């Protein structure tokens, strides 16, 4: 699969904060398709994001539209799964059979729960599969799944004026899909992709989120990221 300069990027769960942030930042170079179970909800969010993007960027290459999840999956060159861990089975079983064979799927999903101790990693605590493992079983072309964007601050992501200045861990198996995701990482100013290894090591990227959240709360930090120096 070639690395396209201009792509259709679909975001399942695109009406949430992560979806909004990705849409506002990637629309400068790509078409964004917001996905939701209800197409009307996706269309409403897309109109809001497009208006915000016009105020922020003036003119830009891409469009922001909204459709139901299945339509988004069928049309996308890249599909971002901005969904909770507990919804993976219900959503991915319906959505992923509809993606194109060469579509790269990005999972920023984290198996996360909050207990009296703090944020804990469900895969360790309850001995459940990683998010990558759960999504992987629904992939038609299993090599096209890439794990990334687990530690990005949603509150910072949705404000394109803010510079994120952090590293993004990336795990995957197909070199061209990995390269495509790394390209999308670098399109967000001051983000740097850091390769961790194959998809089987994605749990290492996922577990960094509860580590970061606990450090943030215990040390009274404000929306921190991770930077390797």
Q: 36-91, pLDDT tens digit by residue?
A: 999 999 999 999 999 999 998 888 889 999 999 999 999 999 999 999 999 999 99
pLDDT beyond 90 at 205 = yes
pLDDT beyond 70 at 4 = no
CATH number of 8-218: 3.40.50.720
- Is residue 24 a contact partner of residue 52, using CB atoms and an 8 Å limit? yes
pLDDT of residue 202: 97
- Is residue 177 a contact partner of residue 143, using CB atoms and an 8 Å limit? yes
Q: With pLDDT > 90 as the criterion, what percentage of the chain qualifies?
A: 88
pLDDT beyond 90 at 160 = no
Segment 110-139 mean pLDDT:
95
pLDDT of residue 61: 87
Q: With pLDDT > 70 as the criterion, what percentage of the chain qualifies?
A: 98
pLDDT beyond 80 at 159 = yes
Distance of CA 65 to the CA centre of its chain: 18
pLDDT beyond 60 at 161 = yes
pLDDT of residue 57: 84
pLDDT beyond 80 at 2 = no
pLDDT of residue 138: 98
* Residue matched to tokens 């890249």: 78
- The residues that bridge with 114 in the sheet, in sequence order, are 119
Rounded Cα distance between 84 and 91, Å, is 10
Spatial CB neighbours of 42, under 8 Å, sequence gap ≥ 6: 14, 15, 34, 35, 36, 66, 67, 68, 72
pLDDT beyond 70 at 216 = yes
pLDDT beyond 50 at 1 = no
Q: 10-49, pLDDT tens digit by residue?
A: 999 999 999 999 999 999 999 999 999 999 999 999 999 9
Question: Model pTM?
Answer: 0.95
Rounded Cα distance between 198 and 191, Å, is 21
pLDDT of residue 105: 98
HSE, side-chain direction, 13 A CA sphere, residue 224: 16
């Amino acid at each position: 699969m070639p690395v396209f300069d201009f792509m259709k990027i679909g975001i399942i769960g695109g009406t949430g904060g992560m979806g909004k942030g990705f849409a506002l930042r990637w629309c400068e170079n790509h078409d964004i398709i917001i996905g939701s179970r209800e197409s009307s909800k996706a269309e409403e969010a897309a109109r809001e994001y497009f208006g915000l993007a016009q105020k922020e960027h003036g003119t830009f290459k891409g469009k922001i539209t909204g459709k139901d999840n299945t339509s988004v999956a069928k049309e996308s060159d890249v599909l971002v799964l901005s969904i909770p861990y507990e919804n993976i089975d219900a959503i991915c079983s319906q959505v992923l059979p509809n993606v194109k064979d060469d579509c790269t799927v990005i999972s920023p999903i984290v198996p996360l729960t909050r207990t009296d101790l703090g944020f804990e990693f469900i895969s360790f605590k309850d001995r459940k599969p990683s998010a990558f493992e759960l999504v992987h079983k629904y992939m038609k072309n299993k090599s096209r799944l890439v794990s990334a964007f687990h530690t990005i601050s949603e509150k910072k992501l949705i404000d394109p004026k803010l510079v994120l200045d952090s590293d993004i861990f990336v795990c995957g198996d197909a070199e061209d899909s990995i390269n495509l995701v790394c390209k999308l990482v670098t399109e967000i100013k001051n983000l740097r992709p850091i390769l961790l290894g194959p998809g089987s090591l994605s749990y290492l990227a996922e577990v960094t989120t509860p580590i970061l959240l606990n450090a943030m709360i215990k040390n009274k930090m404000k929306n921190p990221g991770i930077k390797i120096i």
